Structure 1
């Protein structure tokens, strides 16, 4: 199946001419279309991490005293990849962990207001709600239409800011709705008002070059284990203001007397080999294709996939399944599902599990304002054949399941 609206990009290959997928260890009997949730680690990085673990376990007394300096070196490599200063960058297990650091460390006053958006990642929003409860405050939610322009999204967030706002939490790329938000202008307005801003950039590393250029926020969090393909449990907390000195790891350790970010480099006997192996992933992708070419391929493949799958649904339902996202993302896209399925978070997760169990496809489904979506994501190991398979096998099944559900109601 091909789309008349978008060209099919040629599949990427390894330098030896073999398919790009052979650089990973993904099960070839499963179609992997959900890189955006948990990522996928290249074989070279797995091997590097396994070698580091073997070194750690062969001589733990030598390993752990030397570990902070090794973490610091990896941190410097990761900061260079993101285009940020190493002394503004701490390593944390995941973006939610970075948000939790901010929530537990930030000086706040009783009765504070925290502003979030209705596109926020659920776990991060829950953390903001817990912080508000702890200090007798409230959470205000900015409602942003899915198709909102950058200006409209900016105005929706700024409208919720008040003199009581003690923290603003806003996504760089939204997880449930696969769209960008104008974090540069939002953060600039918050800074003008003296409001600390946490930008959740969980999906951003690897998708955009120098993603913090032009963005002046107090805190920025991003997962390296998604599109940058690092071993899981590798993320950054970038702190760009004097408030960085308030930040402490969630676990008190012997690094506590050090400044930021060095105090994060010492975490007792935790296995931090994921941090140390991350440069191997970054270097593998750069050496094999170059990050610029990878980003272009992911975007072109997402264009193809989005239209191919939307057209497959339209051929069955007679409806338009393309989604007018206001600020689309290069490698993450939404396609509207038939009415009645994945209309809430729990049902979307259940649909993900059913598609994997019955159809052998790893896919992401989300919901927003009671509408269900297929959230596709692309990476170098994906090809047009993967999305053709979804259109030919999964689209008819999803359409039938939606029809069955409508009859049941």
Structure 2
């Protein structure tokens, strides 16, 4: 292929094996969707299993000491994210962190919650439930897919009003794989006295300091996506006076403690995912360094976008590249042929069909009635993964698109 020189040279483990040998991913499946659920390195799986054996060997001893173990783990996570330990609580995922915020904000009768049309569905649904409790409504800012920072900023702040009681804004958008200018949006909302929740679900691992220059009331981010931590590990960061209003969704014996200590005591919850997270983060750092890992993911994403986009163009005769305004290093969109994944249910059904019939794990999204494949890269991926997608999957998708246009199922 003419673009092969753009492909990043594959990364290897210290022993010379391919990077993928550090994971337990099925070699018979092509994995090009790290961004949805992540993938846990073997060393972190082993550590979590070791911790679980300890828990089951002496449950009383384990749970009596668990809060101190969690506090140690969140100190390591805080160092990774470059935030203060006293500002960070561990929660199961970003949606759970958002739910904590929604459950504990001061009541604002008739208040509006501002979201964008790029928001993550579960977090937006939580905002809608909060709006119903307030007797208010959710207002949606429409941000063009190709919006540059200034345009995106204007589209959001134009919707602010005296009725706005909370702004919920994605740092990296899930359906459209783009950054949002959250620093500027949060600063403007703060100037008006409006609390801000930043959904940084995809950010840990992709940005060295996700909250640098970001002055918001609440921030949530998943460690189990690009951070490769065991699933069920996320950070909730709160750095204003509103932090003391935050309580876990489950009341437990730590309720009388201050934030974030009260989140360290959650009864009999299996917290081994939290405790094994430093092992996962350390594996990437010790093997390649996070800076090298991020640079590799970016170069490979450049190549993936080009090779898959060229393959779609060849079979459709159309330019399938997508301008997302503020692209993300490790996630890229490529437009699908007409008729595919025009809604979220259709996108999910297409994901399942590709997995079932083609043995490829990938993500499809829909925005504005247009379907896209969302390509994700990580250190275990190689150029061959995306060449395979271009050569084997793209022609099949083009054929399915024709079937859709003919009304066949």
Identify the residue that residue 90 of structure 1 maps to in structure 2. 89
Which residue of structure 2 aligns with residue 313 of structure 1? Answer: 312
Matched ranges for 1:147-296 at <5 A: 147-296=146-295
Conservation of the 8 A alpha-carbon contact between 1:178 and 1:333: yes
Q: CA RMSD in A?
A: 0.8
**Equivalent pair of 1:8/1:304 in contact (CA under 8 Å):** yes
Q: Distance in 1 between matches of 2:316 and 2:232?
A: 41
Count of aligned positions? 408
- Give 1:2 deviation, angstroms: 4.8
Name 1:401's counterpart in structure 2. 400
- 1:376 aligned counterpart, secondary structure: strand
How far apart, in 2, do the equivalents of 1:211 and 1:197 lie?
15
Other-structure match for 1:52: 51
Alpha-carbon deviation of 1:57? 0.4
Q: CA deviation at 1:3?
A: 2.0
1:240 to partner: Cα distance = 1.4
Q: Which residue of 2 aligns with 1:331?
A: 330
Q: Is the 8 A contact 1:343 1:372 kept in 2?
A: yes
Deviations 1:117-150 (A, max 9, x none): 0000000000000000112111000000000010
Q: Which residue of 2 aligns with 1:110?
A: 109
In 1: Cα distance, 2:357 partner to 2:172 partner: 30
- In the alignment, the residues of structure 2 paired with residue 284 and residue 2 of structure 1 have an alpha-carbon distance, to the nearest angstrom, of 35
CA contact (8 A) 1:129 1:138 kept: yes
Q: For 1:304-334, what per-residue CA distance to the aligned partner results, in whole angstroms no more than 9, with x for missing partners?
A: 0000000001011110000011000000000
**SS at structure 2 position matched to 1:390:** helix
In 2, distance between residues paired with 1:61 and 1:311? 59
Q: Are the aligned partners of 1:142 and 1:160 in contact in 2 as well (CA < 8 Å)? A: yes
TM-superposed CA distance for 1:74, in Å, is: 0.2
Alignment partner, residue 31 of structure 1: 30
* Aligned residues of 1:2 and 1:8 also touching (Cα < 8 A): no
Deviations 1:53-92 (A, max 9, x none): 0000000110001000000000000000000000000000
Alignment of 1:298 onto 2:300: no
The C-alpha deviation readout for 1:239-278, integer Å capped at 9, x for no partner, is: 0111000000000000000000000000000000000000
Provide the residue aligned with 1:3 in structure 2: 3
Partner of 1:356: 355
Q: What SS does structure 1 have at the residue aligned with 2:406? A: helix
Q: Which residue of 1 aligns with 2:370?
A: 371
TM-score, structure 1 normalization: 0.99
Q: 8 Å contact 1:108–1:166 — kept in the other structure?
A: no
The residue aligned with 2:69 is 70
Q: What displacement does 1:351 show?
A: 0.2
Per-residue CA deviation, residues 10-33 of structure 1 (Å, 9 max, x unaligned), is 000000000000000000000001
Whether the aligned pair in 2 keeps the contact of 1:306 and 1:333 (CA below 8 Å) is yes
SS of alignment partner, residue 6 of structure 2: coil
Between the aligned partners of 2:309 and 2:2, the Cα distance in structure 1 is 12
Distance (Å, rounded) in 2 between the aligned partners of 1:9 and 1:135:
51
Rounded Cα–Cα distance in structure 2 between residues aligned with 1:188 and 1:108: 23
Structure 2: gaps of 5 or more residues: none
The Cα shift of 1:207 comes to: 0.5
| Runs of at least 5 residues in structure 1 that lack an aligned partner in the other structure | none
Q: What SS does structure 2 have at the residue aligned with 1:408?
A: coil
Q: Work out the CA distance in 1 between the residues paired with 2:59 and 2:207.
A: 38
